């Protein structure tokens, strides 16, 4: 039986977040941000917040199914907060300590509802992650020039 989706918020510092993002990358999860981009746009000691929003099943990859798709409230050096998503294994999430009281969790949930999405936040200041896929190019002409 799959673990029940917890209705809680966990706080992580930037280094813990980078570890979670690395783990998501190692498992090939689709909801994650590039670690280098995060390192460039987050303060090393900042606190970020994870909220498990849904259970995600991958029938073609039972070794990582189910996992939890978490809403992630990130804090930039400017103090701005923005929302992203991060796929996390239930066992990994369960190891994160419960450090927030109910009142603070309510405040964080409210901030998550108001925060701009990572893409909108990054576009507003020209901070989008570099594409990881190669762009398609027009074929070269026989002499090597692009026409």
- 3-state SS record for 100-139: CCHHHHHHHHHHHHHCCEHHHHHHHCCCCCCCCCCCCCCC
Find the distance separating the first CA and the last CA of the chain, reported in whole Å. Answer: 59
Q: How many residues does the chain have?
A: 147
For 94-126, write each residue's pLDDT tens digit: 999 999 999 999 999 999 999 999 999 988 877
What confidence score (pLDDT) does residue 1 get? 55
Q: What is the DSSP letter of 147?
A: -
For 56-68, write each residue's pLDDT tens digit: 777 777 676 788 9
Tell me the β-bridge partners of 68.
55, 88
pTM for this one? 0.80
Contact at 8 Å (CB) between 87 and 68? yes
């Amino acid at each position: 039986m799959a673990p029940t989706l917890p209705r809680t918020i966990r706080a992580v510092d930037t280094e813990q977040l980078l570890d979670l993002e690395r783990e998501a990358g190692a498992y090939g999860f689709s909801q994650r941000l590039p670690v280098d981009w995060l390192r460039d746009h987050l303060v090393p000691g900042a606190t970020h917040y994870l909220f498990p929003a849904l259970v995600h099943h991958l029938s073609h990859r039972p070794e990582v199914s189910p996992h939890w798709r978490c809403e992630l409230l990130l804090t930039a050096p400017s103090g701005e907060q923005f929302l992203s998503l991060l796929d996390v294994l239930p066992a990994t999430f369960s190891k994160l300590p419960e450090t927030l009281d109910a009142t603070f969790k309510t405040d964080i949930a409210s901030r998550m509802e108001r925060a701009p999405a990572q893409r909108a936040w990054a576009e507003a200041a020209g901070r989008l992650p570099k594409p990881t896929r190669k762009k398609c190019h027009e074929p070269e002409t026989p002499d090597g020039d692009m026409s």
